[in-house]
Amino acid sequence: MAFSLIRKLDPPSRGILSRKAVVMLCSLLAPLILLHLLTDRCASPSPIRGSPRNKRLVSERRAAGHGVAEGAVTAVRAGPTVWQLPEESPAFPPPQDLVVSPRLAGKISPLGEGSKKLPQALIIGVKKGGTRALLEFLRVHPDIRAVGAEPHFFDRNYDYGLEWYRDLMPKTLEGQITMEKTPSYFVTREAPARISAMSRDTKLIVVVRDPVTRAISDYTQTLSKKPDIPSFESLTFKNRTTGLIDTSWSAIQIGIYAKHLDNWLQYFPMDQILFVSGERLISDPAGELGRVQDFLGLKRIITDKHFYFNQTKGFPCLKKAEGSSKPHCLGKTKGRTHPNIDPEVVQRLRDFYRPFNMKFYQMTGRFFGWDH
């Protein structure tokens, strides 16, 4: 009896011990394996970054000439959605590839004070009228911030959208006015409706100049870039014998101010449009700038003390430009010497423009004195 009890209490066999050891080892290793799997899962790319549509966007980005590097992230528009994509290296992509969330656009200024806003005032024309001079003079005012380059948003780049346009603007503080100038807006048929859609309260500034002188200046600029173009006289007429003016030539067409103004008055009242004399901008810059400052609701800060007349160039220059303590004149491309034009052709053009000028004087309520 005692012997049989002793037999029952003998230690378990080696097979049993091996099975127990395996079970214990597995129970210890299982949490480690699970932890490893979870770590790999968390480190893997998100579904958005690896989605087929995202890969297509990256391919389009590369096709557009933008390099793509691993790691960095930027926001790119894909329809109404903002997608996260690898960022170009080493520099940021051009503005049209950057998208700010519509909810935050114009409200965040991570790199400094102020925020980017859509312009409240535009210099919409005219080409070779003095728009560059006006913009440079206005930038002296502390309450005006303006884009230097011409955005051409409402004529050439409208498909990029308002967020792209806003991103081109400089940051402004409360009370400052954002501006830009693109002279071709005035003769672009779609521009008035597009600007009105952005804001019906937009203030519009048009610098106008004797249309005959303006046409010759326009031709002179083209001639400096393309010396082999036909003469001014041959481009002016459809038929030199009959004296029929070729109004399809842009240099002639731009100067028919009354026709273009009719288009703008369908969308904006006259009290939202200011006409600046290109001639007076040269002879009395402070006087014309005073009118512009009043129109924009700003204090008259830009006065005679800001200008001096450059005898060599033949037009006024700033004693101190924006952000500089040195005098500033417009570049070498401004104030070119005009070619000699046949006086008969000049007179024929004056006769052609006279009825349009008279209508323009009546529409604006201002006599510009172009009809000699």
Q: Extract the annotated binding site.
A: 128-132, 209, 217, 334-338
Q: Which amino acid is at 186?
A: F
Measured distance CA(302)–CA(296) in Å, rounded: 13
Place of tokens 């009354």: 258
What is each CA distance from 161 to 48, 79, 148, 303, in whole angstroms?
24, 11, 20, 37
Helix axes 285-295, 131-138, angle to 10 degrees: 70
Measured distance CA(150)–CA(169) in Å, rounded: 11
Q: Which amino acid is at 32?
A: L
CB 121 within 8 A of CB 206: no
Binding-site residues for 3'-phosphoadenylyl sulfate sit at 128-132, 209, 217, 334-338
Whether omega before 316 lies within 30 degrees of 0, making that bond cis, reads no
Q: Exactly one of 117, 128, 181, 203 is catalytic; name it.
A: 128
3-state DSSP assignment of residue 52: helix
- CB neighbour class for 13 (10 Å; exposed up to 12, middle 13-18, buried from 19): exposed
CB 307 within 8 A of CB 319: yes
Token duo for residue 73: 């992230």
What DSSP letter does each residue of 318-359 carry, written as one string?
ESS-TT-SS-B---TTSSPPPPP--HHHHHHHHHHHHHHHHH
What DSSP letter does each residue of 265-308 carry, written as one string?
TTTS-GGGEEEEEHHHHHH-HHHHHHHHHHHTT------GGGEE
Measured distance CA(7)–CA(51) in Å, rounded: 69
305 is catalytic: no
Q: What amino acid positions are annotated as catalytic residues?
A: 128
